[in-house]
Homo-oligomer: A and B are copies of this chain.
Amino acid sequence: MSGQSTPVAPSAPPPPPAGRPPKVTNRGRTTVPVDSSNSETSDFPEVEYFGLPGPRGFPPLTGFLDISGVDMVKNPDEKNKVEHHTALFQSDKLIVRRGQEFQVKITFNRAYKPAEDKFAVEFVIGSSPQYSKGTYIPVFPTKERQSSWEGRIVNTADNTITMGITPKVDCVVGKYHMYVAVLTPFGVRRTVRDDSRDLYILFNPWVKDDSVFLDDEQEREECVMNEVGIIYHGAYDDIAERDWNYGQFNYGVLDACLYIMDRSEMPITNRGDPIKVTRKASAMLNSRDDEGVLVGNWSGDYTYGVSPTSWTGSTEILLTYASSKMPVCYAQCWVYAAVFNTFLRCLGIPSRVITNYFSAHDNDGNLKMDIILDDNGRIDRNRTRDSIWNYHCWNECFMSRPDLPPGFGGWQIVDATPQETSDGMYRCGPASVNAIKHGHICFPFDAAFVFAEVNSDVVFYSRSKDGTMEPVKVNRTHVGRLVLTKTPGAMTRRDITDQYKFPEGTTEERTVLEKAEEYGCHRDKSNPEVADVDLTLPTLEISVGDDFEMNLEFVNRSDERRTVDMYISGTVVYYTGVTTSEFLFRDPTVEIGPNKTVNELITVESKRYLKYLVEQANLHFIATGKIRETGQIVTAMKVVALRNPKLMVEVSATGKVNEEMVAKVQFTNPFSFSLENVYVRMEGPGLMAPKFKYYGVILGGLSLTWSEFFVPQRPGETRVIATLDCAALRQVSGQATVTITA
Contact = CB atoms under 8 A, between A and B. Distances in A.
Interface stretch (A324-332, A335-343, A534-542): A324-332
B420 A691 contact: no
B690 A8 contact: yes
B364 A270 contact: yes
Interface in A264-291: 264, 266-267, 269-270, 276, 279-280, 283, 287-291
B614 A695 contact: no
Contact of A3 (B5, B29, B421, B694): B694
A377 to B, nearest CB: 14
Contacts of A383: 130
B12 A520 contact: no
Contacts of A421: 34, 267, 270
Contacts of A576: 28-30
A3 B693 contact: yes
A251 interface: no
A507 interface: no
A653 interface: no
Q: Which of A122, A147, A423 has the most CB of B within 10 A?
A: A423
A458 B270 CA distance: 21
Contacts of A27: 298-300, 578
A32 B704 CA distance: 41
A506 interface: no
A322 to B, nearest CB: 10
A698 B448 CA distance: 60
A237 interface: no
Contact of A30 (B19, B405, B420): B420
A239 interface: no
B385 A469 contact: no
Contact of A295 (B15, B420, B444, B691): B15
A615 B28 CA distance: 9
A383 to B, nearest CB: 7
A607 B120 CA distance: 47
Copies in the complex: 2
B298 A25 contact: yes
A132 interface: yes
A614 B287 contact: no
Interface in A616-636: none
A683 B182 CA distance: 66
Contact of A12 (B266, B324, B518): B324
A147 B155 CA distance: 83
Contacts of A316: 8-9
Interface string A5-16: 111111111111
Nearest to A136: B467
Given A3-B694, A614-B28, A692-B8, A15 B120 contact: no
Given A15-B327, A21-B296, A328-B12, A385 B3 contact: no
B324 A29 contact: no
Contacts of A699: 1
A20 B420 contact: no
A19 B288 contact: yes
Contact of A32 (B28, B267, B385, B465): B385
Contact of A131 (B267, B364, B442, B468): B468
A463 interface: yes
A368 to B, nearest CB: 8
Interface residues of A, number: 141
Given A10-B306, A296-B25, A519-B403, A466 B120 contact: yes
Interface in A560-582: 574, 576, 578-580
Given A132-B469, A424-B266, A691-B5, A405 B362 contact: no
A300 B138 CA distance: 39
A12 B320 contact: yes
Interface in A429-450: 441-445, 448
A80 interface: no
B291 A289 contact: no
A21 B308 CA distance: 15
A706 interface: yes
Given A34-B420, A692-B8, A385 B130 contact: yes
A236 to B, nearest CB: 20
A115 interface: no
A51 B15 CA distance: 53
Q: Which of A424, A578, A694 has the most CB of B within 10 A?
A: A424
A520 B305 contact: no
B138 A296 contact: no
Nearest to A289: B19
A368 B134 CA distance: 13
Nearest to A288: B19
A283 B424 contact: yes
Nearest to A421: B267
A425 interface: yes
B32 A299 contact: no
B402 A520 contact: yes
A259 interface: no
A386 interface: yes
A441 B403 CA distance: 8
A50 interface: yes
A152 interface: no
Nearest to A370: B132
A50 B466 CA distance: 10
Contacts of A445: 423, 444
A183 B280 CA distance: 54
Contacts of A527: none
Contacts of A477: none
A601 interface: no
A574 B1 contact: no
A573 to B, nearest CB: 9
Contacts of A387: 30-31
A681 B697 CA distance: 73
B147 A468 contact: yes
Counting from the closest, the 8 A-B pairs by CB-CB distance are A28-B574, A29-B298, A28-B298, A12-B324, A402-B520, A25-B297, A15-B326, A27-B299
14 contacts: A12-B329, A13-B329, A15-B291, A16-B287, A19-B290, A27-B300, A28-B299, A29-B576, A34-B420, A138-B468, A402-B519, A423-B445, A442-B444, A444-B445
Interface of A: 1-16, 18-21, 24-32, 34, 50, 118, 120, 122, 128, 130-133, 136, 138, 140, 145, 147, 181, 183, 188, 264, 266-267, 269-270, 276, 279-280, 283, 287-291, 295-301, 304-306, 316, 319-321, 323-324, 326-330, 362, 364, 368, 370, 372, 383-387, 402-405, 420-421, 423-425, 441-445, 448, 459, 461, 463, 465-469, 518-520, 574, 576, 578-580, 614-615, 681, 689-699, 702, 704, 706, 708
